[in-house]
A and B are shown apart, each in its own frame.
Chain A
Amino acid sequence: MAQVTLNAVRKVYPNGAEALEPSTFTIPDGELCVLVGPSGCGKSTMLRMVAGLEDITEGEVSIGDRVVNDIDPADRNIAMVFQNYALYPHMTVARNMGYGLKNRGMDRGQIAAKVREAAEMLNLTEFLDRRPSQLSGGQRQRVAMGRAIVREPDLFLFDEPLSNLDAKLRNQMRIEIRALQRRLGTTAMYVTHDQVEAMTMADRIIVLSNGHIEQIGTPNEIYEHPASTFVASFMGAPPMNLLDAEAGQGRVTLPGGEVVPQAGVNGHTGAIKVGIRPEDVAPSAQGDLSFNVDIIEELGAQRLLHGKMAGQDFSVAVPKDQEAATGEMRLALKANAVHLFDADQGRRLG
């Protein structure tokens, strides 16, 4: 078991492109930390540097109290689960799982015992003699997990492990991976571009964009207090509404002249961004804001109303038992619904 520390770690490719700005953080022992962001944000690069598959341009990576910059991937005592599973196609499930142990010089009896134990944990016992090509997607995913478990690593690395599965299986495996990691108590780094996976699985989330860390925090902190417009719109579905507004004279005014309630501007004046989550507003005849509904999207448990507020795109989520129709309506804010960001940098204000 071990904590993972990145100290000013930076990655520049030979062609001069900076894939990761100097980044520093620590993942405490036993936590599952999710790296999330759109493709090309540097999350996979970060994971691969921890694995030792990518050279570190600057900075230090430590696993436990050991700096691993110059240590071979095989000697870092890590295990990795790949997006396409990377199972050895010519080996049986049992040999796939035991290959790393065999290379460590463990004797056959011991390998067999460990493989059997992991197979039981993952319901793979009956498949041990099969080849990967004879397995379903979910089973292959489990074999990849099993290969990671038998090594008893200090650290699990997951590189988008669920993105090749269908939606239903993905939900199921999400829960399984989470439960397994809790049970084993092994520190884990998990890369995904799916914000639902990040929110549901993580002890701690690191949001990345364009090679730099936007925010580090628990799922709750990220959701309640997004540090930037990027985080605000990336995390949460449907995404947070962002409206251009004007701050002045101690209040925030939308282009049409309506005043946004709850907005304390702390002396900020000029252009500003107002963030309101679709689920933080509710239709109400006495509401402060006017909203024009164009399209209603039925989702079953709730409805999404898409339309315009002060001439800008805006969405509202309402529960299924609440009637809705297109046309003008008034909206009231729930408590703590308003997030303010500065208009240039998109940083959170206050």
Chain B
Amino acid sequence: MADITETRVTATPVARPRKRIRWDHVADHAILIAGALLMLVPVYMVFATSSWDAITVHREGMQFGFSDQLGTNYDAALFEYGGFTDSVNGVTMLANSLILGLGFAIGKIVVGMMAAYAIVYFRLKFATLAFWMIFTTLLLPLEVRILPSYEIITSITVFGLYENGMGNSYAGLIIPLIASATATFFFRQFFLSVPEELIEAARIDGAGPVKFFIDILVPLSRTMIAAMFIIMFVFGWNQYLWPTLITTDESLFTLVRGIRQIVQSYADGSETPDYGQAAALAIIAMTPPVLIVVFFQSWFVKGLTESDK
């Protein structure tokens, strides 16, 4: 056996060095702050501008400071009727955006969950075929097949319900957007990760397909549903091209669709556009999705990063 001697380290009192500034940490923070400002400043400017009168903005561009027109501009953006037929104001557009966002999110989740449940939990002969048929829709975004989609949807008549096609209807606005399988794919992935034994235990406990779905699978998927809902709501709310094409009736305009009217009035140049009011409308259009993403951040990030695995 070797001798083991205990080495005692005597603590010599050293003058504690003054806290050093870690320059690499400062640089890290500087970069991050620059990034944050890059994201924040443009939107802040829009917000500040929404408190100014049209003339000032027309002369000097967007503003950094605040003026006294905030209330007037938002009041006008929300309640004043504008556009060509004077049939739409901010509140109506807000309601339409909400209908589009909610309808799209709920529709997509319900349809997607049902299909994913059928594919994962049933011994179906053509499940693979169905999966590939559904999966193929992920390949081609609506933008690619936009004209034929438009032609078909404006000419389609469903059981005499839409005599003049599905244009200018909420159904025509929402349902074609649901025709891609992101949610189905997402829920399929999640269902596949649910432990095998749960359905076995449930079957021994006497649960049939409906009971298993409602009692076990849906409660189990709550976080996933929430995550998917946030992403889909934002996606639906922010739709632009399809609403632009399919709604010519102004009473169906969404906020994002309304932005186009602003820009068009810019382009006309016939009269001084109401910049303050336009900025206010832009702020109104971005506030609900931004709030949802910020407040439900962890669900949102989870949904986003896990949907694409």
The interface of chain A, by Cβ under 8 A from chain B, is: 48, 51-53, 72-75, 78-80, 82-91, 99-100, 103-104, 147
Distance from B13 Cβ to chain A, minimum over Cβ atoms (Å): 47
**New contact pairs (12) apart from A51-B204, A74-B203, A100-B205, CB-CB < 8 Å:** A48-B200, A51-B200, A52-B204, A53-B203, A80-B204, A83-B197, A86-B195, A86-B197, A88-B201, A89-B220, A91-B219, A103-B207
- The answer to the question of B206 belonging to the interface, with a C-beta cut-off of 8 Å to chain A, is yes
Interchain CB contact (< 8 A) of A88 among B198, B203, B204? B198
For the complex, give the distance between the alpha carbons of A244 and B198 in Å.
48
A95 to chain B, nearest CB (A): 10
CA distance A91 to B204 in the complex (A): 17
B75 within 8 A of A: no
Contacts of A79 in B (CB 8 A): 204
List residues of chain B with CB within 8 A of the CB of A53: 200, 203-204
Contacting pair A86 B200 (CB below 8 A)? yes
Which residues in B have their C-beta under 8 angstroms from that of A91?
A: 219
B215 at the interface (CB under 8 A from A): yes
Q: How far is the CB of B154 from chain A (nearest CB, A)?
A: 45
Contact A74 B195 (CB under 8 A): no
- Indicate if the CB atoms of A80 and B200 lie closer than 8 Å: yes
* B218-246 with Cβ < 8 A to chain A: 219-220, 222
* Separation of A78 and B197 alpha carbons in the complex (Å): 15
Q: Which residues of A contact B195 (CB under 8 A)?
A: 84, 86
Q: Which residues of B contact A52 (CB under 8 A)?
A: 203-204
Interface residues of B (CB under 8 A from A): 195, 197-198, 200-207, 211, 215-216, 219-220, 222
Give A72 to B207 CA distance when docked, in angstroms.
11
A68 CA to B204 CA, complexed, in Å = 14
Q: Nearest chain A CB to B133's CB is how many angstroms away?
A: 23
Docked pose: A179 CA to B41 CA in angstroms: 71
Which of A51, A74, A86, A147 is close to B206, meaning CB atoms less than 8 Å apart? A74
**What total of A-B pairs shows CB separation below 8 Å?**
61
Q: Which residue of A lies closest to B200 (CB)?
A: A53
Q: A86: which of B198, B211, B215, B222 is its contact (CB, 8 Å)?
A: B198
- Say yes or no: A74 contacts B197, CB within 8 Å: no
Min distance, Cβ B221 to any Cβ of chain A, angstroms = 10
Query: Who on chain A is nearest to B216 by CB?
Result: A88
Give every chain A residue within 8 A of B215 (Cβ-Cβ): 99
Residue contact A82 to B200, C-beta cutoff 8 Å: yes
User: Are B204 and A73 in contact (CB-based, < 8 A)?
Assistant: yes
Q: Most chain-A Cβ atoms within 10 A of its Cβ — which of B201, B215, B219?
A: B201
B219: chain A residues within 8 A (beta carbon):
90-91
9 chain-A/chain-B pairs, Cβ below 8 angstroms: A72-B203, A74-B205, A74-B206, A78-B204, A80-B201, A82-B201, A86-B197, A99-B205, A99-B207
Residues of B within 8 A of A90 (CB): 216, 219-220, 222
Say whether B201 contacts A86, CB under 8 Å: yes
Question: Which residues of chain A come closer than 8 Å to B205, judged between CB atoms?
Answer: 74, 99-100, 103, 147
Chain A neighbourhood of B202, CB < 8 A: 88, 99
Cβ–Cβ contact A74 & B216, under 8 A: no
Shortest Cβ distance from residue A274 to the other chain B in the assembled complex, whole angstroms:
43
Given that A100-B204, A100-B206 are known contacts, is A82 also in contact with B216, CB under 8 Å in the complex?
no
**Cα-based distance from A79 to B200 in the complex (angstroms):** 11
Give chain B residues whose Cβ lies under 8 Å from the Cβ of A86.
195, 197-198, 200-201
Chain A residues with CB under 8 Å of B197's CB are 82-86
**From A85, which residue of chain B is reached at the shortest CB distance?**
B197
Q: How far is the CB of A142 from chain B (nearest CB, A)?
A: 15
Cβ distance A14 to chain B, nearest Cβ, rounded Å? 11
Closest residue to B220 on the A side, CB-wise? A90
A170 → B minimal CB distance (Å): 19
Q: How far, in Å, is A104 (CB) from chain B's closest CB?
A: 6
CB contact under 8 A between A74 and B204, given known A83-B197, A86-B198 = yes
